[in-house]
C-alpha cells in the first residue's frame, strides 16, 4: 500500500495518459452546452453562492507553499523527465506607469537600464537551471508576463529570444504557443513586427475599459483608436490569437458604460477575452489607495455588468470557457475544451497542460512533476540569490497521491464541467463514489439548485452552475477549511 504521507517517486506516479481500456475521451463534449450556453447567468443563484475561493491555477494552491530545503530545486531539475515537454514563463516586473487597480508583482520605474540589468540575471538563472536538466526537452509554450514585458527594448527582446534558442529546442509544430502580454501604451512601432519575426504567435492586450473617465480614475488612459490600431497591426502580421483583458467594477463604471465598452470590444473582435472582477483591497495593494472607494459601482451594479457582459459575448458567438475566460468557437481554447483536452495551470486555461512549467525571474513559479516552486517576490532577494550562484526558488509544494487525485478532479470540473467516475477509477484505483462520499453529500444542495447533476457515472456541472465552477471545485479542496479569513477573491 502506498504511504500517502510522503511525496511519490516517479515510479509510483499514476498515469495521466488516457487509460487504454477507455476507448473514448470521457471529457470530449462532456458539456453539450458549450455552444448553446443557456442559463449561464442566474442572479439569485449567484447571490446565494457568491463567496471567496481559490482560482485553482494549481492544487494545492499557492497558500500551501512552504520554505524549500537546501538543494531541493537542483534535485527537482536534475530528476525532470526529459521526455516531458516544457512551457517557459518569464516575469518582467517593470512598468513605466502605475495602474491603480493592479495587484501584480511589479516595479514602477522609468530607468531604461533596469531592464538590461534584469536581463543579465535572467540569463544567469536560465543557464544554471538548464545545466542541471537532462536531455533535450522540447519547448512547446513560452509566455512573457509582467509587469510590462515590452518594457524590454526591441534589442533586448531579440537578445533574450536568441539566447533561449541556444539553451532549448523549440517546437516547430503549428500547435506551439509563444505569447506575450502587451500594454498598448508602451508598444513601439517596430515591436509587434519584431515579435512576430521571432516566432511569437499570440498576444494579449490590456484594455480594461474604453471610457475615458474610468481610464483617468485608474491612471491608464488609452484611446479606442490606439486599441484598434494595435489589433489591426497584429492581425496583419499573422498573430493567430489575440486576447483582450477587461475589468468590471472599476471606479466610475456604470451598467451602461460597461455595456458600451463591451459592445465596442465585440466590434473589434478579439479571439479571446478575459473579463476580470476588480477586487478592491487597498490594505494589500498600495496603488489601490489612489482609488476613491465612493467611486466604485455597487455590488448589485457589478453583478448586472457581469450578466450583461456574459449575454453580450455569448450572443456574439463567444464560447464561455470558464471562470472569466471567453473565446471564439474556432480558437484553440474553445476547440480544446470541446475535445476534452483543456488544462489549467499558473498561466490560466491552456492547451499545453502536458508540459512541465519552468518559471524565470522574480516571483515566477515553476511546476515540475510533483513539485511547485516559487522564486522570491522581492527583486533584491532574487538578485542576491543569483549573485551568490544559487538557484532562486524559496518556496515549494510537493504533491502527494491524494493531492494528485483531487487536482485531477478539480481541474476537470473547471475545464470540462465533468468528472467521469470510470476514468478516475482507472487512473487512481479508487471507487469515487465511496472515496468522495462526503463531497457528494455536500454537493446535494447544489444538485437541488440544479447547478450539478450526479449519478453512478459521474458529476456534471450544469449550465446554470458553470459560473460557479469554483464553488463546485471547493467541495473537493481538503485544505480550504483550515484557511482563516478572506484570503481569496469572490468567485463572481
Q: Binding site: which residues?
A: 89, 95, 99, 101-103, 146-148, 181, 208, 220, 245, 279, 365
pTM: 0.91
CA pair distance 70, 63, nearest whole angstrom: 21
**Are 324 and 195 members of one domain?**
yes
- DSSP label at residue 347: T
Within a domain: 4: no
> Do both 408 and 303 map to the same domain?
no
pLDDT of 16 > 80? The answer is: no
Cell of 360: 524565470
Would 385 be classed as within a structural domain? no
Name the pLDDT band for 4 (thresholds 50, 70, 90): very low
Q: What is the spatial distance between Cα 10 and Cα 212, in angstroms, rounded to a whole number?
A: 54
Kindly state whether residue 439 falls inside one of the protein's structural domains.
Answer: yes
- Cα separation, 471 vs 274, in Å, equals 19
Whether residue 375 lies inside any domain: the answer is: no
Shared domain for 82 and 100, answered yes or no, is: yes
How confident is residue 154, by pLDDT bands cut at 50, 70 and 90? Answer: very high
Q: Is pLDDT above 80 for 245? A: yes
52 and 84 share one domain:
no
Residue 99's pLDDT band, with cuts at 50, 70 and 90, is very high
* pLDDT at res. 282: 95
Domain co-membership, 55 together with 118: no
CATH classification at residue 424: 1.10.10.920
One domain, residues 199 and 51:
no
In tens, the pLDDT along 425-458 reads: 999 999 999 999 999 999 999 999 999 999 999 9
Position 24 confidence tier, pLDDT thresholds 50, 70, 90:
low
pLDDT surpassing 90 at residue 92: yes
From CA 449, how far away is CA 446, in angstroms rounded?
5
- Classify residue 383: in a domain, yes or no: no
Within a domain: 376: no
Q: Compute the distance between CA of residue 308 and CA of residue 323 in angstroms, rounded to an integer.
A: 16
Is 14 a member of any domain? no
Contact 159, 119 (CB under 8 A): yes
Give the residue numbers of the binding site for S-adenosyl-L-methionine: 89, 101-103, 146-148, 181, 208, 220, 245, 279, 365
Q: How confident is the model at residue 23 (pLDDT cuts 50, 70, 90)?
A: very low
Radius of gyration (C-alpha) of the chain in whole angstroms: 22
Q: Is the pLDDT of residue 33 over 90?
A: no
- Is the pLDDT reported for residue 329 higher than 60? yes
CA–CA dist 365, 62 (Å, integer): 10
Instruction: Identify whether residues 268 and 336 lie together within a single domain.
Output: yes
Please tell me whether residues 131 and 191 are part of one structural domain: yes
Same domain, 76 and 49: no
Domain that holds residue 40: 19-60+400-476
Co-location of 433 and 454 in the same domain = yes
Span 217-240, average pLDDT:
97
Percent of all residues in the chain with a pLDDT value above 70, rounded to a whole number:
92
Give residues with Cβ within 8 angstroms of 311, minimum separation 6. 41
Residue 27, pLDDT score: 82
Written as one string, the DSSP assignment of 292-346 is: -GGGSPPHHHHHHHHHHHHHHHHHTTPEEEETTEEE-TTSHHHHHHHTT--EEET
Helix, strand, coil share of the chain (percent; to 5): 40, 20, 40
CB 371 within 8 A of CB 13: no
At residue 52, the pLDDT reads 87
Max CA distance (Å), the chain = 63
Confidence class for position 206, pLDDT limits 50, 70, 90: very high
When divided into structural domains, the chain yields a total of 2
List residues forming the annotated binding site for [4Fe-4S] cluster: 95, 99, 102
pLDDT given at position 326:
97
Tell me: do 49 and 70 sit in the same domain. Answer: no
* Same domain for 89 and 56: no
In a domain, 419, yes or no: yes
Distance from C-alpha of 349 to C-alpha of 476, rounded to nearest angstrom: 20
Query: What pLDDT score was predicted for residue 6?
Result: 41
CA dist., res. 293 & res. 145, Å (int): 29
pLDDT at 30: 63
Mean pLDDT taken over the chain? 91
Amino acid at each position: 500500500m502506498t504511504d500517502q504521507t510522503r511525496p511519490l517517486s516517479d515510479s509510483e506516479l499514476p498515469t495521466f495518459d488516457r487509460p487504454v481500456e477507455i476507448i473514448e475521451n470521457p471529457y470530449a463534449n462532456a458539456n453539450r452546452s458549450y455552444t448553446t450556453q443557456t442559463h449561464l447567468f442566474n442572479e439569485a443563484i449567484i447571490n446565494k453562492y457568491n463567496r471567496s475561493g481559490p482560482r485553482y491555477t494549481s492544487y494545492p494552491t499557492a497558500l500551501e507553499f512552504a520554505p524549500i530545503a537546501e538543494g531541493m530545486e537542483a534535485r527537482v531539475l536534475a530528476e525532470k523527465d526529459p521526455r516531458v515537454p516544457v512551457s517557459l514563463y518569464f516575469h518582467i516586473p517593470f512598468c513605466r506607469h502605475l495602474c491603480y487597480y493592479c495587484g501584480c508583482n511589479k516595479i514602477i520605474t522609468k530607468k531604461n537600464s533596469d531592464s538590461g540589468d534584469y536581463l543579465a540575471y535572467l540569463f544567469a538563472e536560465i543557464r544554471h537551471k538548464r545545466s542541471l536538466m537532462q536531455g533535450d526537452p522540447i519547448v512547446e509554450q513560452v509566455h512573457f508576463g509582467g509587469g510590462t514585458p515590452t518594457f524590454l527594448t526591441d534589442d533586448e527582446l531579440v537578445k533574450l529570444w536568441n539566447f533561449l534558442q541556444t539553451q532549448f529546442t523549440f517546437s516547430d509544430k503549428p500547435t506551439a504557443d509563444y505569447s506575450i502580454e502587451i500594454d498598448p501604451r508602451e508598444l513601439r512601432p517596430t515591436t509587434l513586427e519584431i515579435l512576430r519575426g521571432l516566432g511569437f504567435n499570440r498576444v494579449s492586450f490590456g484594455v480594461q475599459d474604453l471610457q475615458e473617465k474610468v481610464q483617468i480614475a485608474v491612471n491608464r488612459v488609452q484611446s479606442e483608436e490606439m486599441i484598434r490600431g494595435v489589433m489591426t497591426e497584429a492581425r496583419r502580421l499573422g498573430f493567430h490569437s489575440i486576447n483582450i483583458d477587461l475589468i468590471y467594477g472599476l471606479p466610475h463604471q456604470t451598467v451602461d458604460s460597461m455595456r458600451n465598452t463591451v459592445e465596442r470590444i465585440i466590434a473589434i473582435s478579439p479571439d479571446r477575452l478575459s473579463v476580470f472582477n476588480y477586487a478592491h483591497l487597498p490594505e494589500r495593494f498600495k496603488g489601490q489607495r489612489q482609488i476613491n472607494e465612493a467611486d466604485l459601482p455597487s455590488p448589485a451594479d457589478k453583478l448586472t455588468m457581469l450578466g450583461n457582459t456574459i449575454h453580450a459575448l455569448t450572443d456574439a458567438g463567444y464560447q464561455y470557457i470558464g471562470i472569466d475566460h471567453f473565446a471564439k468557437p474556432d480558437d484553440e481554447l474553445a476547440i480544446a475544451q470541446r475535445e476534452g483536452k483543456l488544462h489549467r495551470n499558473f498561466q490560466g486555461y491552456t492547451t499545453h497542460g502536458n508540459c512541465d512549467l519552468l518559471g524565470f525571474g522574480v516571483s515566477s513559479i515553476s511546476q515540475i512533476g510533483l513539485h511547485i516552486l516559487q522564486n522570491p517576490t522581492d527583486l533584491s532577494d532574487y538578485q542576491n540569490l543569483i549573485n551568490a550562484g544559487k538557484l532562486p526558488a524559496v518556496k515549494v509544494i510537493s504533491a502527494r497521491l491524494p493531492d494528485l487525485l483531487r487536482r485531477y478532479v478539480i481541474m476537470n470540473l473547471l475545464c470540462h464541467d465533468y468528472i467521469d467516475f470510470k476514468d478516475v477509477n482507472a487512473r487512481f484505483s479508487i471507487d469515487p463514489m465511496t472515496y468522495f462520499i462526503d463531497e457528494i453529500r455536500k454537493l446535494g444542495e447544489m444538485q437541488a439548485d440544479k447547478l450539478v447533476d450526479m449519478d453512478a457515472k459521474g458529476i456534471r456541472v450544469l449550465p446554470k452552475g458553470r459560473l460557479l465552477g469554483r464553488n463546485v471545485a471547493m467541495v473537493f479542496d481538503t485544505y480550504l477549511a483550515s484557511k482563516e479569513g478572506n484570503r481569496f477573491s469572490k468567485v463572481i
